[in-house]
Structure 1
Amino acid sequence: MSLSQLQPLHQRLTDELRTRITSGVWPEGFRIPSEAELCREFDASRGTVRQALSALRGEGLILGGRGKQPVAGRAALSQPFTTFMSFTEWAGSIGKTPGQQTREIARRPASPEVAAQLGITAGEPVVEVLRLRLLGDAPAMVERTSFVLDVGRLLFDFDTDSGSIFSFLKSQGVDLSRARHTIDAVAAEGLDVELLGVERGAPLLRERRLTSSAAGQPIEYSDDRYIPGLTNFTIENTSEHRANLVRVPTTA
């Protein structure tokens, strides 16, 4: 195979080797061919091959080197923004059937916490949604979401048991462009115990999310509580690259 006619060559080589790892052609732990073997296969110089391998080491897709046999790393790539934001899209991307049971949708006064996050005055009206999210038939997460009123009122014309709220809002022209995620652990209590079928005090993985428009106007604040045996969040970083936040399933 010759890539000599493609420019820049090192980037084309990087893309080809990345694809082999992320597609599973080179699974985790696979011995990476030597520099000499790659030079012959791609009709490339040793400097070009080294540049491509260095880039993939920076991404965490190649491990070892400097006396250790280089091997393929785990192909955990960051999720697209829409997939990370939408439980429905994420579930589909891992081969699971997403589900939701709406327990409540109501207009009510914003609590002090919600008001602080959304940049409004406590007591101003917001639209709150409480849903149980499912992976297949298994409870996975309790979703408590508060929307500013002019956005949330759109949900009264939407069947919130039918699928992704975010997808619906985007179809209505709502600008959902930015999000800040805070992840920690909390103990199950109250309604979480009932909906998730866990014991009181059991650990839950909590993701609090503030979603804003491209201009930075707060739109939605959510407190999502996951059963940690069904999902977790992985951060991969290197000295050369910013961290990628990835939501991954922990069961087959």
Structure 2
Amino acid sequence: MERAGGVALWRQIAERLKADIRAGVWAQGSRLPAESALAERFGVNRHTLRRAVAELAAEGLLAARQGRGTFVESVPISYPIASRTRFSEIIGRQARSPGGRLISSSRETASPWLVEKLRLRPGESVHRLETLRVADGVPISLSTSWFSAERFPDLVSRYAETGSVTMALAAHGLEDYTRQRTDISARLAEPEEARWLKLAPGAPVLVNDIVNVDGEGVPIQVSHSRFAAERIQLTVES
């Protein structure tokens, strides 16, 4: 590695290691390769490498444990739940890159409980979306969401294009919406959830069941989200 743009080598190495950690190359609690291996990888001496590691330790991303090595720590993302909760905005404010991926979608007849939650007529159709949301490429939450297919006919394609519920709704003329209700619980991740969230088997998830409404108080979204508990800190704001 060579000095680039006047940026010190140790700083470049710190940024490379930080990107690897956030991308999940090394999971929370895992040990980094030996100093000699990392120094060889970056083509620097151990002193330069130690400076980079010390910087990440100061940021709380790494922890050196006497006689055991250097381990990846986890700094949970602060996720406030308020009347206006937007994933992309929350993640972006913490200098991370938000993203959304559409796993699957379907159009189906609303079940009785959805008819009640979304104030639909019996027999109306809903869009069901399964989505994965990430921060810096690291999985944060897995969500199942339902929307009125009549009111938002192109919602699936809009979400697939943008990876954002807010932008998909705005494409249908709904510029703003608010949170009406959030129910929070905790449990162990199911195998499929752990696979998508890249969690160890049996790791905990924080479950959010939410209802969002438009400016007239009409429900527009019902969602069932599972957050990776080790990566998120939910804060309820009044």
Deviation at 1:218, TM superposition (A): 1.2
Deviation at 1:220, TM superposition (A): 0.7
* Corresponding position of 1:106: 106
Change (3 A) 1:113 1:232: farther
For CA contacts below 8 A with separation 6 or more, give which structure has more relative contact order.
2
3-state DSSP of counterpart to 1:158:
helix
1:101, 1:161 within 8 Å by CA — same for their partners in 2?
Answer: no
Identical residues among aligned pairs (%): 24
Distance in 1 of aligned mates of 2:228 and 2:142? 9
* Corresponding position of 2:62: none
Indicate yes or no: 2:133 matched with 1:133.
Answer: yes
- Give the letter for the 1:224 counterpart: S
* Corresponding position of 1:117: 117
TM-score, normalising length: structure 2? 0.58
Distance in 1 of aligned mates of 2:206 and 2:81? 19
2:152, 2:172 within 8 Å by CA — same for their partners in 1?
Answer: no
Deviation at 1:115, TM superposition (A): 2.9
Deviation at 1:199, TM superposition (A): 4.0
* Corresponding position of 2:158: 158
2:100, 2:164 within 8 Å by CA — same for their partners in 1?
Answer: no
- Give the letter for the 1:125 counterpart: S
What is the total number of aligned residue pairs between the two structures?
A: 160
Q: CA RMSD in A?
A: 2.7
Larger Rg: 1
| 1:24-35 matches, cutoff 5 A | none
* Per-residue Cα deviation, 1:157-184 (whole angstroms, up to 9, x for no partner): 4152533221331243126433222222
* Corresponding position of 2:210: 209
Change (3 A) 1:163 1:111: same
1:210, 1:222 within 8 Å by CA — same for their partners in 2?
Answer: yes
Change (3 A) 1:122 1:205: farther
Change (3 A) 1:141 1:106: same
Greater CA drift, 141-150 or 175-184: 175-184
* Per-residue Cα deviation, 1:140-162 (whole angstroms, up to 9, x for no partner): 10011100122332214415253
Structure 2: unaligned runs, 5 residues or longer: 1-77
* Corresponding position of 1:143: 143
* Corresponding position of 2:92: 92
3-state DSSP of counterpart to 1:94:
coil
TM-score, normalising length: structure 1? 0.55
